[in-house]
């Protein structure tokens, strides 16, 4: 199982005139990086506690979560299966999954909507199988992500993270609550129709005045981009040496840059941005960077 690992915290001089640090969870592991490692940590512990040796999960054809789960299972002597949304395809991400021994079940989009039913249909009688929701979402993932807060400076004024399911953000807010910090959590949803994020976070934490959700930076929806975002990514990487993905971290950094431009923060604020990894997502959009 995973040992405790603390990722580095380093200055980010990209935002001139402001004190910004980046929490480099992307450096935890090349395949189980960022919030994927945080989310899987206690899921694996649950599998060990309950005697399960087969993780069954869900994701799209370019899912970082699927690769991370496949790698984590291979390293811990577990089996893995993924229900992959959509028609059968081949790509670099799914190749990595198969190399790590993951079995892939391509599933039509309508059937995919009811994940518990899919699990019960194929694995309901398998007492060795453990249901793992898409992205690893759930209380175990929230618990793992909450531990990030103990690795940050206690005087952090503002903490930024991108959000898909909202699980990472929920964990961060629970960590802030447990430590009784004044840190404001800024969440940047990457999905269109992002009004579900706040309720998803608050179901784990309860109402909290320290939560800020910045809508309007999804660039058209999940895995959608624009020429402006692509140019921002290229400029950011070239001027920081830090790779960011087009699905999550780039949209969070773009949002921060826009908010700083409009004077939402003070120069003496200590701002931390969480790099949640996901760099393999670049493989699914390589044609946009030509």
The number of helix segments (H) and strand segments (E) in the chain equals 10, 10
63 an active-site residue?
yes
Indicate if the alpha-carbon torsion angle 86, 88, 91, 92 is positive or negative.
positive
Give whole-number Cα distances, 48 to 51, 54, 186, in Å: 5, 10, 34
Q: How far apart are CA 192 and CA 216, in angstroms?
A: 9
Among 63, 80, 198, 250, the one annotated catalytic: 63
Q: How far apart are CA 27 and CA 280, in angstroms?
A: 13
Q: How far apart are CA 202 and CA 127, in angstroms?
A: 32
How are beta strands 9-11 and 19-24 bridged, if at all? Answer: antiparallel
Total residue length of the chain = 290
Give whole-number Cα distances, 278 to 35, 162, 205, 224, 248, in Å: 9, 11, 25, 15, 7
Tell me the two tokens of residue 161. Answer: 């993270």
Active site residues: 63
């Amino acid at each position: 199982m995973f040992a405790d690992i603390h990722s580095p915290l380093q200055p980010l001089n990209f935002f001139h005139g402001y004190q910004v640090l980046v929490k480099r969870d992307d450096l935890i592991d090349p395949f189980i990086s960022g919030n994927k490692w945080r989310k899987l940590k206690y899921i694996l512990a649950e599998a060990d506690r309950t005697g399960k040796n087969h993780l069954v999960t869900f994701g799209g054809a370019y899912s970082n979560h699927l690769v991370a789960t496949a790698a984590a299972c291979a390293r811990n002597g577990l089996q893995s299966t993924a229900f992959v949304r959509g028609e059968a395809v081949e790509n670099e991400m799914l190749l990595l999954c198969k190399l790590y021994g993951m079995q892939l079940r391509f599933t039509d989009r309508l059937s995919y909507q009811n994940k518990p039913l899919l699990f019960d249909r194929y694995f309901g009688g398998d007492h060795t199988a453990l249901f793992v929701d898409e992205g690893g979402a759930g209380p175990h993932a929230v618990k793992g992500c909450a531990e990030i807060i103990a690795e940050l400076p206690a005087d952090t004024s503002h903490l930024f993270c991108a959000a898909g399911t909202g699980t990472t953000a929920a964990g961060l807010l629970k960590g802030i609550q447990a430590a009784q910090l004044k840190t404001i959590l800024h969440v940047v949803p990457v999905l269109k129709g992002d009004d579900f994020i706040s309720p998803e976070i608050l179901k784990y934490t309860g109402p909290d005045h320290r939560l800020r959700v910045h809508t309007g930076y999804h660039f058209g929806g999940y895995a959608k981009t624009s020429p402006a975002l692509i140019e921002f990514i290229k400029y950011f990487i070239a001027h920081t040496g830090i790779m960011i993905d087009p699905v999550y971290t780039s949209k969070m950094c773009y949002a921060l840059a826009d908010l700083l431009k409009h004077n939402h923060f003070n120069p003496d604020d200590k701002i931390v941005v969480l790099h949640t990894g996901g760099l393999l997502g670049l493989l699914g959009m390589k044609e946009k960077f030509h």
